[in-house]
């Protein structure tokens, strides 16, 4: 692991809002001003002081530590992808992974962030629909 890069006092970033079955989740990905690549993740989820909020803070801190020490953003995205909670597959933590993925896609292709969010919401809705059908059979 490389030494952690110092954090400038001001950095640019993107905040993605997603609605999941677990409630609204805001994921902020900040960018290194020198390389324009992700250097930190902040997650706002759950009631302040609650378990969800504490877990989200811990995950964000670890991911940020990794990103500032040479972890590839796509590997952080992969590690968090596909983790479901008691409410199903497309829920809280997966929304955080998707939000990171949306920012990575935007940085790679220059596509509009709101278009990418809309696509992800649409895909999530379709998967929920398919899940419901599956349970009815």
Nearer to Zn ion, 92 or 116 (CB): 92
Q: Which is nearer to Zn ion, 92 or 97 (CB)?
A: 92
Q: How far is the CB of 32 from Zn ion (least distance, A)?
A: 30
Tokens read off for 112: 């509009």
Among 92, 95, 103, 120, binds Zn ion (CB under 5 A): 92
Q: Measured from the CB atom, is 64 or 91 closer to Zn ion?
A: 91
x/- letters, 49..88, toward Zn ion (CB under 5 A):
------------------------------------x-x-
The minimum distance between CB 72 and Zn ion, in angstroms, equals: 26
Task: Using the minimum distance from each CB to Zn ion, give the nearer residue, 18 or 106.
Answer: 18
Q: Helix or strand or coil: residue 13?
A: strand
Q: Which residues contact 64 (CB under 8 A, 6 or more apart)?
A: 39, 40, 41, 42
> Rounded distance, CA 15 to CA 12, Å?
10
In the 3-class helix/strand/coil scheme, how is 16-66 assigned residue by residue?
Answer: EEEEECCEEEEEEEEECCCCCCEEEEEEECCCCCCHHHHHHHHHHHHHHHH
What Å distances lie between residue 103 and 53, 78, 98, 129, CA to CA?
A: 22, 14, 9, 26
Binding to Zn ion by CB under 5 A, coded x per residue (else -) over 13-32, reads ---------x----------
Among 90, 91, 94, 99, binds Zn ion (CB under 5 A): 91
User: Which residues of this chain interact with Zn ion, rule CB under 5 A?
Assistant: 22, 85, 87, 91-92
């Amino acid at each position: 692991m490389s030494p952690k890069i110092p954090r400038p006092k001001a950095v640019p970033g993107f905040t993605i809002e997603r609605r999941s079955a677990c409630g609204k989740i805001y994921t902020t990905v900040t960018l290194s001003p020198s390389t324009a690549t992700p250097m930190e993740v902040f997650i706002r989820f759950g009631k302040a002081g609650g378990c969800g909020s504490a877990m989200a803070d811990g995950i964000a801190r670890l991911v940020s530590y990794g990103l500032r020490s040479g972890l590839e953003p796509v590997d952080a995205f992969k590690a968090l992808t596909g983790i479901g909670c008691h409410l199903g597959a497309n829920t809280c933590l997966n929304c955080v992974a998707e939000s990171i993925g949306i920012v990575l896609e935007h940085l790679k292709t220059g596509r509009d962030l709101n278009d990418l969010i809309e696509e992800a919401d649409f895909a999530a809705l379709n998967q929920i629909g398919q899940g419901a059908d599956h349970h009815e059979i």
